[in-house]
Amino acid sequence: MRYVILVISTTVLVASGCRDSGTSSPPIEADLALVGVDVLDVSEGRLLENRTILILGTRISAMGSRDSLSVPSGTARLDGVDGKVVTPGLIDAHIHLRDADTTALLDYLAAGVTTAREMNGRPFLLEWRDRIDAGELIGPTLRVAAPTLANFSSPREGYPTPESRSEANAVVSSFRATGYDWIKVYSFLGSDPFLGVMEEANRLAVPVAGHVPIEAGLRVTMSSGIGSIEHLTEYVSSSLLPESRDLDEEDFRSVFGAGEVNWAAVDSLVDATVAAGTWNVPTLVWFDRNLPVPMAEAAWADPGLRTQGETNRREIVRRLHSAGALLAVGTDSDAGGDLPASAFHDEMAALVEAGLRPLDVIRLATVGGAALLGMLDDVGTLSAGKRADLLILPCNPLDDLGCVRRSEAVVARGRLVTRPSGSGMH
Ligand SMILES: [Zn+2]
């Protein structure tokens, strides 16, 4: 995919006109205007028609009806947006930037993902995060989790393996001092070190996310105060009926949820999730696309099992959502690797398949992600003062969520990201 990044000057082109003395409201400043757009009010679930959005630098400086909000003279106007639908930028709560190639950042922006949480950080990603914040690098606003904490049998380079509570305390404190935004835990972190992670993270008020540590289990993990759990895995693995398990396939069936499920057991876990206030990031699309462990590849080729797994995972999402559990949209994508940035659109489609309305899915993808990341003051909705992160769509995504996939332009931090045939400016 080819696209062009047009960098709008952040210089204030027109500061103010002459004003009568006694005028109290300050002049509105802007360097980019979107005139005549229909803005999706995500919270209320309706379109605000015929609006003008004024952008100054990286933020929305004003938003109002086209009739009441005039564009300061000299402000650049984006052509061809009249009647188009504007939504807040999308938030992918689970990505992996695999190497020091910044191309992937542009892939996320082109997909409309203007904020993302990197789930296995390294020092260069902290540098990217800060350079993006400073306007020196173009990419989605990043939140970066620390390197994954686990007790791998053969430790991987860069993966700390705390064995005790005190070792886990020290690792968390060191990651926090290094500047990571989240602590990431993995399935194979022992119960004691996991509780040590949570103890120190809660003390330092640094959020924790990741796989449910198998030894601790889902209920202990949720009651420990973890912020978000990824992939839904334990909802299925702890609820599969015994006859659905096959020794040779146990890992496959548990991880991918291919089996007969005890739904009463799932509902009990759903209730515990709501009570604990734990977020879930289902990453349905990762499981839909990826093969399980090599030993189960033959079984995974059975379309019946694949369908059963897909259906079970969607049903768990539906039950979580209808019970009021907190959900955000994440892909586990690694743009430039196995799963592209555009998998976010597939994840949204999968959530519709799970029974959520398009409005529900857009909420999870915007305000949901913003709430999970503690960024509601900056992103997730569109209003004056919020970061100028938005998508310009050819149609109303409440009627057809596929509209989001066909975005005509993306504005990230006030910068227009578009394809060569996209909208121009004058
Ligand atoms: Zn991941």
Q: How far is the CA of 102 from the centre of ligand 1 (A)?
A: 19
Confidence class of residue 251 from pLDDT cuts 50, 70 and 90?
Answer: low
Residue 403 is predicted with a pLDDT of 95
Among 31-45, 69-83, 153-167, 406-420, the least confident range: 153-167
Q: Which phi and psi (to 5°) does residue 411 adopt?
A: -110, 125
List the domains of the chain with CATH numbers: 4-88+380-418 (2.30.40.10), 90-372 (3.20.20.140)
Q: How far is the CA of 35 from the centre of ligand 1 (A)?
A: 39
Residue 236 is predicted with a pLDDT of 83
Q: How far is the CA of 285 from the centre of ligand 1 (A)?
A: 12
Q: How far is the CA of 281 from the centre of ligand 1 (A)?
A: 10
What residues are neighbours of ligand 1 (ion), with CB under 5 Å?
119, 332
Residue 206, pLDDT above cutoff 50:
yes
Q: Which of 250-264, 297-311, 370-384 has the highest mean pLDDT?
A: 370-384
Share of the chain above pLDDT 70, in %: 85
| Tens-place pLDDT, residues 151-174 | 765 556 667 889 999 999 999 999
Q: How far is the CA of 28 from the centre of ligand 1 (A)?
A: 43
Distance, in Å, from the CA atom of 304 to the CA atom of 408, rounded to the nearest integer, reads 38
Residue 425, pLDDT above cutoff 70:
no
Q: Which residues on neighbouring strands pair with residue 209, listed in sequence order? A: 184, 228
Count Cα atoms within 13 angstroms, Cβ side, for 214: 11
Q: How far is the CA of 254 from the centre of ligand 1 (A)?
A: 18
Q: What is the mean pLDDT of residues 313-330?
A: 98
Q: How far is the CA of 118 from the centre of ligand 1 (A)?
A: 8
Q: How far is the CA of 83 from the centre of ligand 1 (A)?
A: 38
Residue 220, pLDDT above cutoff 70:
yes
Q: How far is the CA of 32 from the centre of ligand 1 (A)?
A: 36
Q: How far is the CA of 95 from the centre of ligand 1 (A)?
A: 6
Confidence class of residue 96 from pLDDT cuts 50, 70 and 90?
Answer: very high
Q: How far is the CA of 284 from the centre of ligand 1 (A)?
A: 12
Q: How far is the CA of 231 from the centre of ligand 1 (A)?
A: 9
Average pLDDT over the chain reads 88
Q: How far is the CA of 34 from the centre of ligand 1 (A)?
A: 36
| Tens-place pLDDT, residues 348-403 | 999 999 999 999 999 999 999 999 999 999 999 999 999 999 999 999 999 999 99
Q: How far is the CA of 294 from the centre of ligand 1 (A)?
A: 19
Residue 305 is predicted with a pLDDT of 80
Q: How far is the CA of 368 from the centre of ligand 1 (A)?
A: 19
Q: How far is the CA of 179 from the centre of ligand 1 (A)?
A: 20
Residue 336 is predicted with a pLDDT of 81
Residue 295 is predicted with a pLDDT of 52
Query: 9-13: long-range contacts at Cβ-Cβ below 8 A with a sequence spacing of 24 or more?
Result: 10/56, 10/57, 10/58, 10/135, 10/414, 12/56, 13/72, 13/74, 13/75, 13/76
Q: How far is the CA of 286 from the centre of ligand 1 (A)?
A: 9
Q: How far is the CA of 46 from the centre of ligand 1 (A)?
A: 33
Strand pairing report for 85-88 and 32-41: parallel
> Which residues, 6 or more positions from 330, have their beta carbon under 8 angstroms from its beta carbon?
92, 93, 94, 95, 117, 230, 281, 282, 283, 347
Residue 308 is predicted with a pLDDT of 87
Residue 421, pLDDT above cutoff 90:
no
